[in-house]
Every structure is written in structure tokens, then in C-alpha cells.
Amino acid sequence: MFNYEPPADLLKDKTILVTGAGSGIGRAASLAYAKVGATVILLGSKTGKLETVYDEIEKAGGAQPAITPLDLETAGEEQYLELITSIDNTFGKLDGLLNNAGFLGPLMPFQTMTMAHWQKIMQINLNSAFALTKFCFPLLQQGENPSVVFSSSTAGRKAFAYSSAYTVAKHGIETLMQVLFLELENTSSIRVNTVNPGPCATALRRAAYPAEDPASLPKPEDLMSVYLYLMGKDSLGQNGKQFSAQD
């Protein structure tokens, strides 16, 4: 596992937007960021799940979070602009963005995948990460030592059969991060990195591998060290790199 012990005030006075915040890695990251002082903006498609995470953060004594429901499968430019305007009016900045929302769906051969299924996976896993990073850019520039973290996958670093769209989307995430690094390294304080969480006990994993015993896998909250590290000041020298939560 990635070894890092964050100080208790690592993200004090920081505002961080987390996508896919209602469950899995996104939920765990939201709770972890709030625990070390961040104000977390919870983004997801299911308001009920976001409200549960909101309550968990408040119960644990974290700073009051914000909820911003958004369906990344159907969101267009107008919805993204409304989101950014709302964040700007409320907070005036972003110090961090965790592009984490993901969808895998059932494994299937390439030739049986429908266009609709392919497009859904691309929209949620890749296109939304591009859009959110693009539209959040002005707010991130107002933040202090801003960090953009992309949740990748083992499928983003090598090819897998029967998950063609997901594998291509996650390879796209890795390449998007590298392109952003090359464009921003000499012109912006924003740093960008990817994290491969590795196999862990999430609903996304269970949908793809229903016969697998979730108890044999680490839980999302066990993988938070690298996500905390990359959002805080201790990682200021890290930019354009691929990290793994379980190495």
C-alpha cells in the first residue's frame, strides 16, 4: 500500500470537488478530505447517496460540505457552466478536483457491445473528466497550490479483454493527464496526476466480477493515503505522474 500519514490539518481551508462522491472511492475520499479540514463539494447523480455522505461528514465533525447533483452521462455544456457558476458564487475558488466518477457495466466481447453502451462508458469515464477539468480551470487557478487527480485503473495501464470501452476510456484518462501536464507545467500552478486504486470492494467492481468475494479485496477507505497525499502540500513536486494506491 502507498504509505503516507497526513497531518491533521492537511487540507484546512481547502475546497475540493469530488465526482462520484456518493459511493466507493469517491465517498471514501470525500470523508478523508473532510477529516483533514477540507470543505468538500459532493458531486454525483444520486442525491440520496450524496446526502448520506453529507451527514457522515457532519457527524464526524468535518466542515459543512456542499451537494451538487449532476448526471455525468447526460450533462452538457449548459449544466457544467451552471455548476461552475454555483461553485464560484459560493466559494470563489477550487483548491482540488478529484475526477473519480466511473462506470464499467457487464463484461462483454467487443463485437456484442452496442454503440449506446460504448458511448455511456466514454461519457462517464472520460468525457466528463475532460469537461469538468476544462470548466473548473478558472476556479482552480484561484486556488492555492491546486491539484487535479484522476482516478484511473489497471485497465488504464494495460489492455483487458471484454472491457474494451472501459479500457479505452481509462487509457484516455492517462493520456489526458499527460497532455495537461505538458500544456500546464510552465504556464500554471495546477498540477495533475493519476491514481490507479487497484482492485477494491466497490459496486463497480462487483458488477463486473459478481463471483468475486468482496472480503478478499481492500476497502476504498484503505486506499486513501495516495489520494490525500496528492491533494496536499507534501506533493507539490509531483506533477504528470502515475501513482498506484496498492504499490
* Residues taking part in catalysis: 166
Beta strand pairing call for 147-151 and 96-99:
parallel
- CB distance 88 to 139 below 8 Å: yes
- Angle, helices 128-141/77-90, rounded to nearest 10 degrees: 30
> Other C-beta atoms within 10 Å of 77: how many?
10
Locate 5 and state its grid cell.
500519514
By the 8 A CB rule, do 55 and 83 touch?
no
Strands 241-244 and 191-196: parallel
